[in-house]
Structure 1
Amino acid sequence: MRKIKNIIDDGFNAKLVKTAIFDGLLEIPVIHNNAEIIIPQGMVPFSERNKSKDKKDFVCFYEHDIKFRNILTATKEQIEDLKRFPGVISPDCSLYRDMPLVLQMMNVYLNRQVGHYLQAQGIYVIPNIRWGDERSYTRLIPKMRYLVNTKILQV
């Protein structure tokens, strides 16, 4: 099996969003609301997940992007390992205010793409929602919709 080193080597992993619903002008993949709310008892960074003693921690990606590159380039290979945990928080790809808008949008897309795919594989996903500068949240990224007690909330 060919090991890819860059997400563009495989067409940005288009297979990960084969079953996705896309929203907004830029067609960002949707991470669906969960049937139940699970509050993490703790969190462990992706690069240190093997150090988690009781596996009650949620896996998070609040670390330098290079430390979680494998979830972006070899997502399918991480599934069984991530299923050992009660859930994950979708990847926190870097969004800098001085980053070109197209790169901000690509990193938002990667966050939702991987989050969607993990969810489709039966992993509980808490969406990590954030923006770069005001251009990235005013009209390009769809508003996140959550169904809470039968009311739709938009952020």
Structure 2
Amino acid sequence: MTTQKHRENPLFLRDGFPSDERSDIPIIHDSESITAERLRSITWIPCSSARKNDSRSCDRIGVHHFVGDEHIPNIYENPERTLEKYSQYSILITPDNSTYREMPRPIQICAVFRSRWVGAFWQSHGLTAIPSVTWSGPESFTFCFDGLEPSSVVAVSTVGCKRGHEAETFFMRGYNVLLERIHPRLVLCVGTPFIGMAPATTSLIVYPYEYPRKKRD
């Protein structure tokens, strides 16, 4: 039984941010402060390397979540827990929650919802966020690009994609749909890009992947 107080809690309802009209997935707004020059000046670290009271030059450090799901902190369930730690850094890329083809569709939609919600939450607290975009098969194209503003900055990763014709075909199929629907002004790729990821109409910025260390608070 849910009490009335809990029933009205925004962290229970998860309805506090503008959302896509069709899917109700929260929208992550583009930030004009994110430029190609700024992205190229950032050193990207995995979330497991972020730490409280970081003594490094955090204004030039960004945090990504392109790690195994088991290494991603449960920010969605406890969004305020890591807020102070993450607020030190220049830019945050939203959690890259897995959307595997063998997953039931509602689970995949939930993964996208949670990632976008976290980004919207960060933005509501003045943090700079870039949405990570992931997809499974063509059936996921009906929801995996929701919550992205047209001509915005997005982040993708090829980490975990097995090299080979089939893997590249599946990745590029979704990537090309992303370009067609969103027309992103900048794409940040963490990891080695596939050939064909940088058409003339899109600026692609590549950052090498750093494998995560053990999680720290």
Is TM more than 0.5 here? Answer: yes
Q: For the residues of structure 2 that align with 1:147 and 1:67, how far apart are their CA atoms?
A: 30
Structure 1 regions of 5+ residues with no counterpart?
1-10
In the other structure, the counterpart of 1:13 is 11
In the other structure, the counterpart of 2:39 is 39
Q: CA offset at residue 88 of structure 1?
A: 0.1
Matched, 1:137 2:138: no
- 1:3-54 Cα deviation digits (max 9, x unpaired): xxxxxxxx99346541x11114221000011132241512111111127833
Q: For the residues of structure 2 that align with 1:147 and 1:22, how far apart are their CA atoms?
A: 17
**Aligned partner of 1:57 among 61, 80, 92:** 61
| Partners of 2:133 and 2:145 within 8 A in 1 | no
TM-score, with structure 1 as normaliser:
0.77
**Aligned partner of 1:81 among 85, 93, 117:** 85
In the other structure, the counterpart of 2:131 is 127
Give the match's secondary structure for 2:140.
Answer: helix
Q: For the residues of structure 2 that align with 1:111 and 1:130, how far apart are their CA atoms?
A: 10
Q: For the residues of structure 1 that align with 2:113 and 2:55, how far apart are their CA atoms?
A: 28
In the other structure, the counterpart of 2:102 is 98
Q: For the residues of structure 2 that align with 1:115 and 1:17, how far apart are their CA atoms?
A: 14
Q: Please report the RMSD computed on the Cα atoms of aligned residues, expressed in angstroms.
A: 2.6
- Determine what percentage of the aligned residue pairs are the same residue: 24
Structure 2 regions of 5+ residues with no counterpart?
1-8, 153-179, 183-217
Q: For the residues of structure 2 that align with 1:73 and 1:31, how far apart are their CA atoms?
A: 18
Q: For the residues of structure 2 that align with 1:63 and 1:89, how far apart are their CA atoms?
A: 12
Moved more, 48-57 or 83-92: 48-57
- 1:79-102 Cα deviation digits (max 9, x unpaired): 111111001001101111221111
Higher helix fraction: Structure 1 or Structure 2?
1
Whose relative contact order is higher, 1 or 2, with alpha carbons under 8 Å and at least 6 apart? Answer: 1
Give the match's secondary structure for 2:63.
Answer: strand
Q: CA offset at residue 73 of structure 1?
A: 2.1
TM-score, with structure 2 as normaliser:
0.57
In the other structure, the counterpart of 2:116 is 112
Compared with structure 1, are the counterparts of its residues 39 and 46 closer, same or farther at alpha carbon in structure 2 (3 Å cutoff)? same
The number of residue pairs the alignment matches comes to 140
Give the match's secondary structure for 1:28.
Answer: coil
Q: For the residues of structure 2 that align with 1:47 and 1:15, how far apart are their CA atoms?
A: 29
| Partners of 2:43 and 2:61 within 8 A in 1 | yes
What is the one-letter code of the residue matched to 1:146? P
What is the one-letter code of the residue matched to 2:39? I
What is the one-letter code of the residue matched to 2:135? W
Matched, 1:48 2:49: yes
